[in-house]
Amino acid sequence: MRVTVVGAGYVGAVSAAVLAYLGNRVTCIERDPARLAAWRRGNDPLREPGLGELLQRLDVCFAPVATDLAESEVIVVAVGTPMASDGRPDLEQVETAAAQIGSRARRGAAVLVRSTVPVGTCDRLQSGPLRAQRVVSNPEFLREGHALHDAFFPDRIIAGGPPDAASAVEALFRRIIDRRVLPGDLGGDEGSRAPVPFRWMSAASAELAKYAANGFLATKLSFANEIANLAQSVGADAAAVLGSMGLDPRIGSQFLRPGLGWGGSCFPKDTRALQAIADGMGYDFLVLKAAIDQNARQLRGFAAAIERVLAPHSQVGLLGLAFKAGTADTRESPAVALARLLLQSGMSVSAYDPAVRDLPAEPRIRVRSTLADACEAADAVVIATEWPEFAAMDLRAIRRATRGDVLFDGRSLIAPSSAAAAGFRYAGLAGFIDGTTTTKAVASPRLGTAA
């Protein structure tokens, strides 16, 4: 089929690559000149593992404008929906794309909206600018750092819209549904023969399904953080408690790892949007509000623990800027938010992240090229992103480079005993432990996967 993908961000570029791999003729539209130039050079500006290499093997045309919409049987809308000041998604890019598609696309073309949009958006577009096309909500469930695997080997495919579009959408993803001839180097379950569940529903249901999934996962993470905090208060072992929970098949071990809180391009935006949807309907979504509040409190509490120990003009060596390991994405990153709180308290911050080379949005954070440079003469080292490199770092060498002896571990990567052996006083998620007079074990849970 002839496919046009509007938007070459994480969702759009991955969708373009997957659909081209499945044998479709794909054009991907990107308006940002710098990003477009990178894609055309064969470079991946997103640094998503495996994506650049896969695109080099495929014939995907990247263009600044959609010149072949009239020939496309399927059009994928994958533009940004950033969060507005009131928590609702900003749909300007979606509206612009819909206007262009409606005026130029062929009658009956399937328009797959993969952008995360408020419930009712697809129905409104169907009765408005896209009345001549078939509008389908087709939410994505891609994890940054694992996007290709999740696209080729999904847990489910969700879509909803006009009933006569169901067969076309199912045909588009048929090889994925049947698990036929897919990349073998992405860690797919080669032994599984069960088809991928394909669920067709109304557009409104598909739109809400995306918000519901992310809202629940964010709530699970917030609950895990609350249990870890409570465990410290009552003298229990958070790792043991959460580990036992994870063995319950109704709960599962994923998203039970305490940390600084959830961030990234999806959870903060989608939870606030879901709350805005509920507020708009006059429904008080108490559980979701509590999860959002706990997430903010978790980060503030860790920052406050650092501020209680360090003098106002101290220098902090911050390890991590991305919102999670495996990506260069710093959108809504707890690490960056933590740095801003420390800067507000009068401290200076030098940071290192294996995937982040600069941070134009926050020039006060000095981004260093090596881990050692970030820790040089630091009064404290703070681990803020769960990169494996930080778990394996030479603590003795780092201690020789620092001025102070405090290690704040916001991701439970370091065993307190290892930190003490290297000459550090260890402060984990449960609060600062003064190693000068006592040696008190701090739980170091390593359960599940981070968001």
Query: Which residues belong to the active site?
Result: 266
Helix, strand, or coil (residue 261):
coil
What's the rounded Cα separation, in Å, for the pair 151 and 141? 8
DSSP H/E element including 167? helix 166-172
User: Which residue, 424, 416, 418, 419, is CA-closest to 442?
Assistant: 416
Question: Please, what is the Cα angle at 265 between 260 and 267, to 5 degrees?
Answer: 60
- CA pair distance 406, 418, nearest whole angstrom: 13
Query: Where are the alpha helices (H) located in 281-333, listed in sequence order?
Result: 286-309
DSSP 334-400: HHHHHHHHHHHTT-EEEEE-SS----TT-TTSEE-SSHHHHHTT-SEEEE-S--HHHHTS-HHHHHH
- Contact call for residues 274 and 284 (beta carbons, < 8 A): no
Between CA 1 and CA 439 the distance in angstroms is 65
Task: Write b or e for each residue in 4-35: b if 16 or more Cβ atoms lie within 10 A of its Cβ, otherwise e.
Answer: bbbbbbbbbbbbbbbbbbbebbbbbbbeeeeb
Contact status, residue 349 vs residue 365, Cβ threshold 8 Å: yes
Pairing of strands 431-432, 425-428: antiparallel
Residue 148 has a CB neighbour count (10 Å cut-off) of 23
φ/ψ region of 136 (left if φ > 0, alpha if ψ in -120 to 50, else beta) reads beta
